[in-house]
Amino acid sequence: MRVIGYLYSSYSSLALVEYADLDFQGFVMKYNKVYESPEEYQAAMDAFTQSVKEIEEVRKNGDVEHEVGINEHSDIPQEQFNKVMTCMSQTANRRLEISTNDDHNGTNLRDLPTVVDWQEAGALAAVRDQSTLLRRCGCCYAMASTAVLESRFKIQSGVSKVVPFSVQQIIDCSTSYGNNGCNGGESDDVYAYARNEGMVKASSYPFEAKSGTCKTNLVTNPQKQCIKARDIARLHRTIPGSEASMMEAVAQGPVAVSLNADAVPVVF
């Protein structure tokens, strides 16, 4: 009996491995995945198999209201995902603080619009991906903050459509403000940099998904800048825990929000 049980267990494990590999091959083809070595392939497949198990567990428990499923990041081990895909804001140097202005605190909700739809207004920036086929960069802070700057520029300047600003400029050039390139940063520091230094178009300084040396001559060229130094008059911070403060901010334009993205339901 023990021999039969052993053989049965071995067969089941083999079948599970073969099934996982077959499913993984479909994943690789769908997302055009490329692995540089057999070891990297195996690590990716192990992570994928673990992702499948965790997704099934979440679905079975019914703990979340949103749908969960396989996505292009499902082959990344959790530790690596946390390192290269989350912003890791705790690593930011926090050199600069932006205080809340008194005139931002006493909002009367009756003075705010009942409905605000910045997508319908054409003021939302395009969705960005912080990874490329060959690289991953922990720059979500830069992408979210740049998107806010793009939206505010569109709203206040009256241009016909959103102008994409350079995320790579933030990655390469804002380290002296407390950010850490592809290793995380803070929206506050992005806004402080943009206010003091200006912003150029994405087409002038394209995204490379890696930290590099700031192209100072480019970003300081007035002919290339969409936002020039000191074009941004003031910086406001919403009041933590204040729904009214958030509503006031959203009434003026889209905002950047940070989430804890290393929790299992969020990853999927």
pLDDT digits (tens, 9 = 90+) for 42-81: 998 998 988 888 888 877 887 667 777 888 888 887 777 7
Q: What is the Cα–Cα distance from 216 to 172, expressed in whole angstroms?
A: 10
Average pLDDT over residues 187-206: 96
The rounded Cα 17 to chain-centroid distance in angstroms is 33
Mean predicted lDDT score pLDDT of the chain:
80
Average pLDDT over residues 90-114: 54
Helices (H), 122-186: 140-157, 167-173
Length of the chain: 268
**Higher per-residue pLDDT: 7 or 235:** 235
Distances in Å between the Cα of 99 and the Cα atoms of 58, 142, 177, 246 are 40, 21, 16, 15
Q: Which of 217, 138, 141, 211 is nearest to 171 (CA)?
A: 211
Q: What is the Cα–Cα distance from 64 to 67, expressed in whole angstroms?
A: 8
* Domains in the chain, CATH or no CATH each: 2-75 (no CATH), 83-262 (3.90.70.10)
DSSP letter, residue 181:
T
Residue type at position 88: M
